[in-house]
């Protein structure tokens, strides 16, 4: 792999792009990717020149969610998903965030993208909230953000079934996001970013704070409930067996 795992670049005046490009690990939540994303959003938070963020991946991957080693640590009770907070990076970012999900969004990777203010999906890519595939209940705020962004029926189906969906299928199911061919995702996101960057930064920050204020206030209660559900569902032998048998399939 060449280049940094997280690449931060200013595409145009006021538009900053954060690209996840861990090709070795397919943008799973390795320590390096988590550290890089956290540092990138911290940098953005303190830069008054930026007005909008584009969060994207590489080729056919947006983010593949937790690593197998990370799931093992959760099973063993060594960590909680709240120890490394990726899910609220976009939500708590002061300026609007566009998740340009040109590639597959798997588990926590899909959920992380949904916390953005705008979501762009690719028709060809796969999106799934596949936590239950491994036998444990969803985390990372999934039980909050999926119903909020996708509607109750589809969100419940995705979480309970752990099924995978192509972007074109989600488009047919009526998701309220732009769904375009994969090669068109970057340009679509850039055009949206340009329309935002035309506005005064103070107005963007003020309006986003108002719009997402209720989400920021409600999320902690759902996180607590998800942690409680993990205590009931995560530390069971069949979960360990599923992590070993099904991971990456």
Catalytic choice (104, 148, 188, 230): 230
| Block residue for tokens 């200013």 | 10
Structure tokens at 198: 């035309």
Sign, Cα dihedral of 111, 243, 31, 61: negative
Separation between Cα atoms, residue 158 and residue 132, nearest integer Å: 10
Measured from the Cβ of residue 40, the count of other Cβ atoms closer than 10 Å reads: 22
Nearest to 105 by CA among 35, 20, 4: 20
Residues 150, 115: contact at Cβ < 8 Å? no
Active site includes 230? yes
Residue positions annotated with a catalytic role: 230
């Amino acid at each position: 792999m060449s280049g940094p795992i997280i690449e931060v670049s200013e595409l145009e005046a006021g538009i900053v792009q954060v690209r996840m490009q861990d090709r070795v690990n397919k943008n799973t939540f390795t320590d390096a990717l988590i550290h890089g994303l956290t540092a990138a959003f911290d940098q953005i938070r303190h830069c008054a020149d930026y007005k909008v963020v584009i969060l994207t991946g590489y080729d056919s991957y947006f983010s593949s969610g937790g690593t197998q080693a990370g799931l093992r640590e959760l099973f063993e009770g060594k960590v909680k998903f709240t120890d490394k907070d990726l899910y609220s990076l976009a939500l708590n970012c002061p300026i609007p965030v566009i998740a340009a999900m040109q590639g597959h969004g798997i588990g926590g990777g899909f959920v992380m993208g949904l916390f953005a203010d705008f979501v762009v999906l690719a028709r060809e890519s796969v999106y799934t909230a596949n936590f239950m595939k491994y036998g444990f209940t969803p985390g990372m705020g999934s039980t909050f953000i999926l119903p909020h962004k996708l509607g109750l029926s589809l969100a419940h189906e995705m979480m309970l079934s752990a099924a995978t969906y192509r972007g074109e299928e989600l488009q047919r199911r009526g998701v309220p996001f732009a769904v375009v061919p994969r090669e068109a995702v970057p340009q679509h996101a850039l055009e949206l970013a340009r329309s935002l960057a035309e506005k005064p930064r103070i107005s963007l920050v003020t309006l986003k704070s108002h719009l997402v204020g209720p989400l920021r206030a409600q999320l902690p209660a759902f996180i607590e409930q998800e942690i409680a559900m993990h205590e009931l569902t995560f530390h069971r032998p069949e979960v360990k067996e599923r992590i070993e048998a099904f991971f990456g399939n």
